[in-house]
Amino acid sequence: MNPLIRKFQKIAEEAKLSKGTKKASLDFARLVRNEVDINNLGRVTRGLQKPPRLATGMLVAFEYKPKGINTLPFYDRFPLVFITEIKPDGWVGVNLHYLHPNMRANLFYQMDRKKVQFGKDDMTLAATKRYLADHVVIAPKEFPESLWEIAAQLPFEGFRGASKTSAWKSTTRKMK
């Protein structure tokens, strides 16, 4: 397995993430946020499989150059997307990078308790994006469900045109 993922699995164990408490999720988010090892998509997705075809319910990471790249105020070059819908020319999904790490931790905590479904509540709707297959630069790689909470906290977002803080604030404004 990818040494970077192994490292974060160990951090997750130390944060007692498996306990499924909101405090454990937030502690893990805080610990990971301070890590500097994560600097590119390749390091994060090394060892993960490219699915034969995409399907709803998958969590994938890929490199993307959106349509209208020069007119967008900002975009995420390395999306981490929970796929909610497959389209003939691509897919729709919740890009977790548009949510502050604390919101991501809360999202997974709520999801574990069946209180939220991706793409069906205000928080995830605000981070829902459409992706066109012909604008994918590096093919999606799938995170197995056992790594979702870890993947959600890895700070490998690649915002262009705005800082991650600005992107998070923009998403939060959409929720209100």
**pTM exceeds 0.85 for this model:** yes
Give the pLDDT confidence of 91-103 residue by residue, as tens digits: 999 999 999 988 9
CA distance 16 to 30: 13
Q: What is the mean predicted confidence (pLDDT) over 133-153?
A: 93
> What DSSP state is assigned to residue 135?
G
pLDDT value at 115 more than 70: no
pLDDT value at 109 more than 90: no
Taking residue 13's Cβ as centre, other Cβ atoms within 10 Å add up to 11
Q: Are 96 and 171 in contact (CB under 8 A)?
A: no
